[in-house]
Amino acid sequence: MGMDRRRFLKIAGLGTMMGFGGKAAFELLAPGAVEASLKDLPLTHAKKWGMVVDMRKMTHEILVACQEACHLPHNIPDWGDPRVEIKWNWSDTYEHTFPGMENAYMDEHFLEKDFFVLCNHCDNPPCCRVCPTKATWKREDGVVMMDLHRCIGCRFCMAACPFGARSFNWGDPRKAPPDLNPGFPTNPDYPTRSKGVVEKCNFCAERIAVGEYPYCVEAANQLKEGTLIFGDLDDPNSDVREALRSHYTIRRKAELGTGPNIYYIVS
Amino acid sequence: MLDKAIKGSKAYWGWIIFLLACIGVGFGFYMLQWFQGLIVTGMGRDVSWGFYIGQLTYFVGVAAGGVMVVLPYYLHDYKAFGRITILGEFLAVGAIVICLLFVFVDLGNLPRFINLMIHPNPTSILFWDAIVLNVYMFLNIIIGWNVLSAERKGVPYQKWVKVLSYISIPWAFSIHTVTAFLYQGIPGRHYWLTAIMAARFLSSAFASGPALLILLCLIVRKVTRFDPGKEQIRTLGGIVAYAFILNVFFMILELFTSFYSQIPGHMHTFAVLFTGDGNLVPLMWTATVFAFIALILLIVPAARRKEGVLLVACVSVIIATWIDKGFGLVVGGLMINPFEKVIQYWPTFPEIMISVGVWATGFFIITVLYKVASAVKEEAGA
Amino acid sequence: MYDGVKIIIGIIIFLVLLLFPAWYQVGKAAKVPDPKLAEKALKAEQCVEPKLFMKTQHMKLLDEWRDEVVRSADRYYQSSSGKTYYKSLQVTCMDCHSSKKEFCDQCHDYLGVVPYCWDCHIEPKENG
């Protein structure tokens, strides 16, 4: 992923400027200049975003960093109760992440390892099929997106998702226990959610729009380069494709035909 | 005709006031849920549908079960049922109201329900479920009301009413098929992913709907001067018997497939529901025991022809199917989460009280409609 | 006239209920809205569109923005003045209009509209 990352760093300045820094800076640019400049960014356009998780490099520390890097800027509250918790990315053991693929003689080290999990941004997402209002749908670039203005909170998508990737706002996120959520909402430039809607990982749509890597990818790679590889699965020259060519990878519950787009290098 | 509903005995008014009180209490608890969110229920990120959706499913069955009096009358010209088709239709109306209210109380953001019409998604079964349920409700209101009006005036009902009646028959099958499709088309939920789900739903509907109808007929006979009829109740008993036997048979098919194939995912839910330390175990065994009682009482014709025995059998059928469908089916499908962990669920007090409010609303409607129907029948000198 | 008294009492009760909003508010003058522009907004002189358009159409514009951003990933607004803006209530609008109380709430409270934008979108921190 070296090449993408260097190119990314070059444009990082521009990304910051439009994302969260000086918004008024736009007015300095000529009409259409923003769109024109964005077209050339390596990260803003793809046919099919995907991710490769290199479990050889993954550590507990990185998993914690990934979750924090995502949950704080996305204003995800901590309810302090696994029953109603909201999470966009987290981790679980091999036998829970890949049920039915474990065997009695596996290396213990492997069974104890925690796997990085998030929305699989499936090719054929059952959540989108069942949504009665198209509040969740598949974007042309592959991101399975949520329209939180439209969601009626029927939770059909939660029943339909075979990966448990979806969370419901059982209560008002702004009323989550204050002692667990110091300074909530943690990012004044990103909305919270209202009670009664479903949410999930959005592949950092707001960041790829301005040429930045998803938060988890950025955080993981800061700790260990190449732990999470993000890119266009449709582009044969992308880092993700290179990783998939040169390693044997597995996907969660591929037999269900949803076409998950998160790949795991396990050994 | 509605004026018939405001002339009643003390007992009638007592019952009405009791139902209104239940509705009031339920509404109060709904306000709590409205302001605090669904966090007041026992549901969570894994068991994300619970008691509400279970009850929705059960009462779709009750509504569909009403067709078991309409079908023999219109398709087989079984005249005796002409006397009680109205009861089947009005039961369906009340049951559908219960269903729709359970959908409403389950929604995270009720005012946005309108999005279902503004931004419909035809690939969503929930969208179709909302359509078929609403149409079925209006079919039954229109048919029931017109037939009853005609009877009151002593004239035969109009032809278009009969056309609607014919339409309502396949429609009843459709509402429960579509409701089954909510579950059986979802990948990754072992307990639900079974082609026989819709058939199971229909068989349990055709047992539990008529069973409830028998109870209501017996009540109507007791509290009004209108007698639904001995033959009618006996025939309904036969229908309950056949449907319930089918229902148990379908369940055995599920068990065979799961346990002979030995595929872990297929066996897992049964194991959790019936053994182990899941909190649904006592409930599921209760359902099983009542299913056996019902089977024995229903299979022996001499037994089920005695109204007292039939009453016990019907109550047993209702308990067994209510637990199986209203509780075990939905919770069982979700309590093994996508990570194959077992998650316990039990409804909270506010959740139960909101459900009480919903049931009371449905039974209020059934009471008023039955009052009107029985008063008209009394007048017509039936 | 049959039951004339009852009818008249009925009409009176009906009118009292019907006019509830009027008599309930008697003597309580609503505060005249006085939206104040924050410093940055004053300096900018014009919003993304002319004042009259914004006054009457801002809700429509915001509605379009939200659909275009969320559903079409179309995040840049081409103003009639030729300038380009990042479509964001929270990040762009509220950057200039930095006081919800002094600006948005003024008219919204007066008109009794409660836009649910703020259920999710975070209003700027205000001093005091």
Residues A178-214 pLDDT 10s: 999 999 999 999 999 999 999 999 999 999 988 899 9
Set of chain B residues whose Cβ sits within 8 Å of the Cβ of A82: 44-45
Q: State mean pLDDT over B55-71.
A: 95
Q: Map out the domains of chain B with their CATH numbers.
A: 2-197+206-379 (1.20.1630.10)
- Rounded CA-CA distance B216/B236 in Å is 12
- Rounded CA-CA distance C92/C65 in Å is 12
Subunit partners of chain C (3 or more CB pairs within 8 A): A
Q: Is A183 on the interface with C (CB under 8 A)?
A: no
- Rounded CA-CA distance C117/B338 in Å is 34
In this structure, what token pair is assigned to residue A210? Answer: 């301005």
Q: Which of A133, A153, A155 sits opposite B119 (nearest CB)?
A: A133
**Are B97 and B137 spatial neighbours (Cβ–Cβ below 8 Å)?**
yes
- Rounded CA-CA distance A81/A117 in Å is 19
**Are B52 and B106 spatial neighbours (Cβ–Cβ below 8 Å)?**
yes
C21 band by pLDDT with thresholds 50, 70 and 90: confident
pLDDT value of position A12 = 39
Dihedral sign (CA C66, C67, C73, C79): negative
Set of chain C residues whose Cβ sits within 8 Å of the Cβ of A23: 85-86, 88, 91-92, 95
pLDDT value of position A36 = 53
In this structure, what token pair is assigned to residue C6? Answer: 């009852």
What residue has token string 């001995």? B230
Q: How far is A130 from chain C (nearest CA, A)?
A: 18
Any idea how long chain C is?
A: 128
Kindly state the percentage of chain C with pLDDT values over 90.
Answer: 60
B109, A83: Cβ pair inside 8 Å?
no
- Rounded CA-CA distance B232/B235 in Å is 5
Find the residue in B nearest to A98 (Cα): B339
Amino acid at B139: L
DSSP H or E segment with residue A156? helix A156-160
- Rounded CA-CA distance B265/B271 in Å is 10
pLDDT value of position A17 = 42
pLDDT value of position A35 = 53
Q: What is the largest CA-CA distance in chain C?
A: 74
Q: How far is C75 from chain A (nearest CA, A)?
A: 8
Strands (E), C7-104: 76-78, 84-86
C12 band by pLDDT with thresholds 50, 70 and 90: very high
Q: State mean pLDDT over B327-337.
A: 95
**Are C97 and C35 spatial neighbours (Cβ–Cβ below 8 Å)?**
no
CA dihedral (B120, B126, B130, B132) in degrees, to 10, reads 110
pLDDT value of position A210 = 85
Q: Which of B43, B188, B337 sits opposite A253 (nearest CB)?
A: B188
**Are A193 and C121 spatial neighbours (Cβ–Cβ below 8 Å)?**
no
Q: State mean pLDDT over C101-127.
A: 90
C73, A141: Cβ pair inside 8 Å?
yes
Question: Burial level of B314, CB count in 10 A (0-12/13-18/19+)?
Answer: buried
B266 band by pLDDT with thresholds 50, 70 and 90: very high
Q: Give chain B's mean pLDDT.
A: 95
Q: Which of A129, A151, A196 sits opposite B38 (nearest CB)?
A: A196
B254's CB contacts (< 8 A; 6+ apart) are B194, B196, B200
C-beta neighbour count of A246 within 10 angstroms: 9
- Rounded CA-CA distance B66/B213 in Å is 8
Divide the 267 residues of chain A into consecutive groups of 10 and give the mean pLDDT of each group: 38 42 42 52 79 96 97 96 97 94 88 94 97 96 96 97 97 96 93 96 92 95 96 94 96 96 94
Q: How far is C121 from chain A (nearest CA, A)?
A: 4
Q: Which of A141, A189, A192 sits opposite C91 (nearest CB)?
A: A189
Helices (H), chain B: 10-36, 51-65, 67-75, 85-106, 115-118, 125-153, 159-184, 197-223, 230-261, 264-274, 281-299, 301-304, 307-323, 329-335, 349-379
Complex ipTM tops 0.85: yes
How far is residue C78 from each of residues A32, C62, C81, C82, C87, measured CA to CA in Å? 8, 14, 8, 6, 10
Find the residue in A nearest to C90 (Cα): A189
C89 band by pLDDT with thresholds 50, 70 and 90: very high
pLDDT value of position B119 = 96
B5 band by pLDDT with thresholds 50, 70 and 90: confident
- Rounded CA-CA distance A172/B211 in Å is 43
Interface of C with A (CB under 8 A): 44, 66, 70-71, 73, 75-76, 78, 82-86, 88, 90-92, 95, 116, 119-122, 124-125
Domain count, chain A: 1
pLDDT value of position C20 = 87
A32, C71: Cβ pair inside 8 Å?
no
Q: Is A33 on the interface with C (CB under 8 A)?
A: yes
**Are B57 and B96 spatial neighbours (Cβ–Cβ below 8 Å)?**
no
- Rounded CA-CA distance B101/B95 in Å is 10
| Cross-strand partners of A231 | A50
3-class secondary-structure state, position A204: coil
C86, A32: Cβ pair inside 8 Å?
no
- Core vs surface per residue B109-133: b (16+ CB within 10 A) or e: bbebbebbeebebeebbbbbbbebb
**Are A239 and A229 spatial neighbours (Cβ–Cβ below 8 Å)?**
yes
pLDDT value of position A70 = 97
Q: Which of A145, A191, A209 sits opposite C120 (nearest CB)?
A: A191
**Are B291 and B252 spatial neighbours (Cβ–Cβ below 8 Å)?**
no
C76, A188: Cβ pair inside 8 Å?
no
- Rounded CA-CA distance C14/B294 in Å is 56
CATH at residue A232: 3.30.70.20
Among A101-105, B123-127, B242-246, B308-312, which is the least confidently predicted range?
A: A101-105
Set of chain A residues whose Cβ sits within 8 Å of the Cβ of C124: 188
pLDDT value of position A43 = 65
pLDDT value of position A39 = 53
What residue has token string 């056309």? B163
**Are A26 and C83 spatial neighbours (Cβ–Cβ below 8 Å)?**
yes
A31, C83: Cβ pair inside 8 Å?
yes
Q: How far is C3 from chain A (nearest CA, A)?
A: 51
pLDDT value of position C125 = 85
**Are A143 and A121 spatial neighbours (Cβ–Cβ below 8 Å)?**
yes
Domain span at A253: 2-265
In this structure, what token pair is assigned to residue C68? Answer: 């275009």
